[in-house]
Amino acid sequence: MNDCKRRLARIRPEFMLPHFIQPCSPIPANSVPAGEGWLHELKLDGYRLQVAKDGPEVRLYSRRGHDWGKRLAALAEALQAIPVRSAILDAELCLLAPDGTSDFAGLQAAMGSGR
Residue 60 forms part of a structural domain: yes
Whether residue 14 is predicted with pLDDT greater than 50 in this model: the reply is: no
How many structural domains comprise the chain?
A: 1
Query: pLDDT: is 7 or 101 the higher one?
Result: 101
Catalytic residue (choose from 5, 43, 53, 70): 43
Q: Is residue 52 part of a domain?
A: yes
Q: What is the CATH number of the domain that holds 92?
A: 3.30.470.30
> What number is the average pLDDT over the span 80-107?
92
Give the separation between CA 17 and CA 5, rounded to whole angstroms.
19
43 counts as catalytic: yes
pLDDT in tens, 98-114: 998 999 999 999 888 87
Distance CA 60, CA 66 (A): 8
Evaluate whether residue 23 is within a structural domain: no
Rounded Cα gap, residues 41 and 89, in angstroms: 15
Q: Is residue 11 part of a domain?
A: no
Whether residue 10 is contained in a domain is answered as no
Q: In this structure, is residue 76 part of a structural domain?
A: yes
Q: Got the DSSP string for 42-73?
A: ---SSEEEEEEEETTEEEEEETT--B-TTTTH
- Overall average pLDDT of the 78-105 stretch: 92
Domain enclosing residue 106, as ranges: 45-115
